[in-house]
Amino acid sequence: FFIRASHRPSLGRLATALPITRPMVRRFVAGETLAEALDACDRLRAASMHTTLDILGESVTSAAAAREAATRYVDTLDALAQRGLDGNVSLKLTQMGLDVDPALCRENVGRVAARAAEVGAFVRVDMEDSPKTEATLALVRELRATTPEVGAVIQSYLRRSADDVERLIAEGTRVRLCKGAYDEPAGVAFPTKGEVDASYRRLMERLLRDGAYPALATHDEALIVEAEAFARRERIEPSRFEFQMLYGIRRDLQARLVREGWNVRVYVPYGREWYPYFMRRLAERPANVLFLLRSVVREGR
């Protein structure tokens, strides 16, 4: 239900206009403005955490909106450099115009990647639903020929991911490993949590052994504990990889990992177009709906 609702722009317009949703959204979104997002990065840095900034927005339908999104990323990279914050951003290709015109998308991402290279920053290309997997990996490969500080995302629920991981390891591409957040048909994705987790475990070990500074993006404590044990057993130094988690989710676990000496990067989304992102977070854990409503009622008293 939440994933389907995330694709309904009319519901999104309604939700973003309602004041009641704002306090709920603030749990997962750092703010609507760049200034708020930079403050969130400052706070996380004070807690010894790294960050990657995401300007919310996806599936743009015009060339002008796609160009504007790229310009906002360039401005964000400049602002991060000026504040001496982590030069690390995450973007989506449909925000850069993939559905409008692939050539325009390439030009937009190329502009962001070029500025990132100038200021010594890193660009992570988020992975969207499976019809875009091939184009996304192809574009990351193409970009890396001129700007190597660009990385990919692999979703463990996809059956193809073991092959993709081997190729990315061979090419020296930095990989973020996540489980996957979209509603995919069983033909392309493993249908059960057990299979998705088993795939995550295999890919995680493969990347920890031979990957270029992989990022393990999950809040699944069992998998995180396994990663820690694997790294210790195989004598993989903490400096060779990082854990990643989403802003506002399992903050206790984020803090524990930092205390124990592991690298942690928090994915910090900001902007007005929070609706699809927020709905995917609810889809991952429907209990969040109750939890969020309760906190709104409490704060409203």
Active-site residue numbers?
126, 176
| Amino acid making up residue 199 | S
- Minimum CB separation of residue 139 from ligand FDA in Å reads 14
Candidates 121, 55, 122, 146; CA nearest to 94 is: 55
Strands 242-246 and 264-270, bridge-based pairing: parallel
Write the interaction track for ligand FDA spanning residues 244-263; mark x where CB under 6 A is met and - where it is not: xxx--xx-------------
Q: Does 116 bind ligand FDA (CB under 6 A)?
A: no
**∠ CA 161-162-168, rounded to 5°:** 80
Q: Provide the residue type at 110 as one letter.
A: G
User: In angstroms, what is the minimal distance from the CB of 266 to ligand FDA?
Assistant: 8
User: To the nearest whole angstrom, how small is the minimum distance from the Cβ of residue 287 to ligand FDA?
Assistant: 8
In the window 262-301, what residues touch ligand FDA (CB under 6 A)? 267, 281, 284-285, 288
**CB closer to ligand FDA, 87 vs 180:** 180
Of 12-20, 97-105, 109-117, 241-249, which segment contacts ligand FDA by CB under 6 A? 241-249
Q: b/e map of 91-129 (b: 16 or more CB within 10 Å)?
A: bbbbbbbbbbeeebbbebbbbbbebbbeeebbbbbbbbb
Which residues within the stretch 138-157 sit at the binding site for ligand FDA (CB under 6 A)?
A: 153, 155
State the Rg of the chain over Cα.
18
Closest listed residue to residue 243, CA positions, set 277, 209, 219, 268: 219
| Residues in 162-221 at the binding interface with ligand FDA, rule: CB under 6 A | 178-182, 217-220
Residues that bind ligand FDA (CB under 6 A): 126-127, 153, 155, 178-182, 217-220, 244-246, 249-250, 267, 281, 284-285, 288
